[in-house]
A = this chain, B = another copy of it.
Amino acid sequence: DDKDNVLDLSDPYSKDPPRHPILKVNSSKPFNAEPPPEILTESYITPNEIFFKRNHLPVPDINPDEFQLTVERPNGQNEKVPLKLSLNDLKTKFPRHEVIATLQCAGNRRSEMNAVKQVKGLDWGTAAISNARWAGVRLRDVLLQAGYTEEASKGLHVHFEGLDQDLTGTKYGASISFQRAMNEKNEVLLAYEMNGEPLPKDHGFPLRVIVPGVVGARNVKWLGRIQVCTEESPSHWQQNDYKGFNPSTDWDTVDFKSAPAIQELPVQSAITEPKPGQTVTPDSDGKVTVQGYAWSGDGREIVRVDVSFDGGKTWHVAELFGEKQKQGQSWAWKLWKLEATLPTEDKEVTIICKAVDSSYNVQPDTVAPIWNLRGVLNNAWHRVHISVNRD
């Protein structure tokens, strides 16, 4: 017992779980890692082991038999006795709901922003995004159980508090709008399963929030407490992080109050094969194969992915793969593939991709004009420079 305490004090990360060696580690404490991009697009559903991992704090060690979710009551309704739900309560007293949803870190593709000008944040490549089938209960059902009603004022926010904490006891936290939480269409979940297994430790065991179409940062892991308030979460990550600014805003001039907290994310796509710097040999028909992913926030479906080999002068339409989801509820990515003949005999080629979503949102051409001091929200066209083997 004494020995354990000493261990914890010297290294709060000592209870972190083992991880798959294939992951590229951007930070080990807290653990942040992404899979090799080309493995990401091998399967529509990302296996749990290679699903990108983005922890802000040490992984808490939670005994599932003792776990209780605390849901604070509405004002005046038995306020002193919050709703307490065990894992078994959640699994047996509420309808089970499943959703296939892609999660993306706001910092996905930050390394391309770093290439423009140094930013503050983990140096994510293109794989801080993954897709899983989540199962749990609807947040809406839990809020109704706690006494909240559909008619509750529109301006409210639902706060999520994690059980992960720093050495001073500050816990991870974030919020979404009450409207988003209550609208059935949004399918906001308290998830206890990921791809048919109990949530892995790195993904929030035993319970996490899944907010389809919304930035990873609001999908709070190791969920311990829910509260409904008139203001957004006061947490650092809601107020002073995960917001976008223009490229001329620096750390001396930034006013975090001037920008909205990131919620639903803009349209995104990236090339996963070939890899940057790879030497590609065209097949006997002279064709090369390009693969990648595309996704958009807020349930918008990917309707087209364009690929160019000539700097954007001409564009091929890629073939899209993935399950059809309901209109306005396209929470999952599309994988895409294109086989095409290169337009020139050049030995060096830059491949570009860009996606279009069902609101006809498009990706911007370049990174510099969307560069921001935190390096979030990079959804510029993705470019991969390759060599072509002409022998």
Residues of chain A at the chain B interface (Cβ within 8 Å):
154-155, 177, 179, 244, 246-249, 259-260, 262-267, 297-298, 303-304, 306, 312, 314-317, 326-328, 354, 356, 358-366, 368-370, 377, 379
The answer on a CB contact under 8 Å between A262 and B364 is: no
Closest to A370 in B: B362
Bound form: Cα–Cα A314–B248 in Å: 6
The answer on a CB contact under 8 Å between A369 and B244 is: no
Shortest CB distance A215–B (Å): 9
Residues of B within 8 A of A266 (CB): 359-362
Known: A154-B326, A312-B369, A365-B364. A359 touches B246 (CB 8 A): no
Closest to A264 in B: B359
The answer on a CB contact under 8 Å between B359 and A263 is: yes
The answer on a CB contact under 8 Å between B303 and A260 is: yes
Closest to A180 in B: B328
Known: A155-B327, A366-B365, A369-B354. A317 touches B246 (CB 8 A): yes
Residues of B within 8 A of A155 (CB): 327
Shortest CB distance A40–B (Å): 23
Known: A154-B327, A328-B179, A365-B366. A356 touches B244 (CB 8 A): yes
Bound form: Cα–Cα A314–B326 in Å: 41
The answer on a CB contact under 8 Å between A361 and B360 is: no
The answer on a CB contact under 8 Å between B365 and A304 is: no
Residues of B within 8 A of A364 (CB): 362-365
Residues of B within 8 A of A365 (CB): 364-366, 369
Bound form: Cα–Cα A259–B303 in Å: 7
Pick the contact of A315: B248, B259, B265 (CB < 8 A).
B248
Residues of B within 8 A of A327 (CB): 154-155, 177, 179
Bound form: Cα–Cα A303–B263 in Å: 13
Bound form: Cα–Cα A264–B149 in Å: 30
Bound form: Cα–Cα A85–B106 in Å: 50
Closest to A369 in B: B312
Bound form: Cα–Cα A304–B354 in Å: 23
Bound form: Cα–Cα A315–B371 in Å: 11
Closest to A362 in B: B364
Given A177-B328, A267-B361, 12 extra CB contacts under 8 A = A179-B328, A246-B317, A249-B317, A259-B303, A262-B360, A298-B359, A306-B369, A312-B368, A312-B369, A354-B369, A362-B379, A365-B369
Bound form: Cα–Cα A317–B247 in Å: 10
Closest to A213 in B: B359
Residues of B within 8 A of A259 (CB): 303-304
